[in-house]
Amino acid sequence: MQQRQVSRPRLLQAMFDAMRVPDLRRRILFTVGMLVIFRFVAHITLPGVDAEALRQLFERNAMLGMLDLFSGGAMRHFSVAALGVYPYITASIIMMLLTPVIPRLQALSQEGETGRNRINLITHWLTVPMAGVAGYGQLILLQRADPPVLSSFGVLPTVAMVLAMIAGTMFLVWLGELITEYGIGNGISIIIFGGIVAGFSDMVIRGRFAAMTNPTGLAGYVVLALITVAVIVIFTEAHRRVPVQYARSVFRSGRMYRQSGSTHIPLRVNMAGMIPLIFAMSVVMFPGMIASYFANPVGADPNLANSIANLFDPRAPLPMGLFYWGLFFVLAIAFTFFYTTVIFQQQNLPGVLQRQGGFIPGIRPGKHTAEYLNRVIKNVTWAGAFFLAIVGIMPFVGREATGVDLQLSSMGLLIVVGVILDTMKQIEAQLIMRRYEGFIK
């Protein structure tokens, strides 16, 4: 029996060990069960939706594809969960940006677990009106589409549909929090992950058609996607280690002794995650989405709105596509520096080190430590910013280089890889705690 276990691949053996531990098995099965419930909810369609018109609208409007990413594919069916967890993510980002600005929120963030719970409660309350506004905006968009996706309704049916969409969003947030508490991994991220993975089947079907017409281009596209995944893994795990020493006093045998210990602060290269890409894509898509409401229909003389919509069209061919993706590249770098600076200031590492008696060798505590860490963060962020910007434009590069357009989202790849790595680390920690061999070297 021992020989059979040794001969198994390390990853496979670790999965067998994980399922053999009752508590870990319960957590894994609970997470899978919540994902199954989420997929059922994602297919409860709101009444009065024209499926064919909705499909045509998604082909024309790239902004809806990004929103569909956070709804886990529910928006493509326009179900009660069409908003997904996007309003909650937006509310969380707003609270994160407002915390260092508003003194009351800043004080709450420093009150430990109680303060974090209060901020989380405010985030939930902020999610409700944001979901209501987003839901009403989607209803108006579908009613004004050509052809209309949704028939015109009165006041009461519209209110009922908006309330249903708000309830769907809060239900998904609740499922995510249950996964975080009783399952494995970050629940909100896993909800998004489940929706992205569920959409891979459509991509496989489109890939089969591409293989019939352009097999060489499809092979190149797959190779490029694999390289992108490898780069995402490398930069997601990459970090700069800043050495730190701690000095403490120990009372022993009636005398006071000074002891020192050393450790390091891991400063991640990609500290901002995928948030800069969300900001950048929202900014570059907004002008085209607004212009599309005022553009003349196909066949009529184009006006200024038509020109703006074409200029900000992510599916525009070369050379017009260079403007959209070039602007996206620059904004991704700028937002990476902005968001990383906000996160780093909230962490207040120089103050934490000074309170805990730690110092960086060769650097004076206080102001000099803050200047040193800021300089290191800026240098590291350059690599993270260019990484995010390059990954962000990879769909455009892959489409132009291979002639295959599978609509493989760079943000989707970042989410999938990040969730898989985070979940593997949590399972690894659980196995090592129970003295099983893990699968991460």
Under 8 Å CB-to-CB from 114, ≥6 apart: which residues?
A: none
As beta bridge partners, residue 240 has 267
Render pLDDT for 185-209 as a digit per residue (tens, 0 to 9).
Answer: 888 888 888 877 777 766 777 666 6
- Rounded (5°) CA angle 326-229-231: 70
- Rounded (5°) CA angle 346-347-348: 90
pTM: 0.77
8 A C-beta contact, residue 297 and residue 266: no
Render pLDDT for 268-320 as a digit per residue (tens, 0 to 9).
Answer: 888 887 778 877 877 887 777 777 667 666 666 677 777 887 787 777 777 77
pLDDT score at 435: 63
Placement of tokens 């596209």 in the chain = 221
Residue 118 zone, left/alpha/beta (φ > 0; ψ -120 to 50; rest): alpha
> Is residue 246 scored above 60 in pLDDT?
yes
pLDDT score at 171: 92
Q: Which CATH architecture has domain 214-410?
A: Orthogonal Bundle (1.10)
Q: How far apart are CA 59 and CA 43, in angstroms?
A: 20
pLDDT score at 3: 40
More confident site: 404 or 4: 404
The residues spanned by each domain of the chain are 1-198, 214-410
pLDDT score at 128: 92
CATH 1.20.20.10 correct for 1-198: no
pLDDT score at 30: 92
8 A C-beta contact, residue 412 and residue 69: yes
For 314, how many CA atoms within 13 A lie in the half-sphere containing its CB? 29
Best-predicted range by mean pLDDT (74-78, 90-94, 384-388)? 384-388
The SS3 of residue 244 is strand
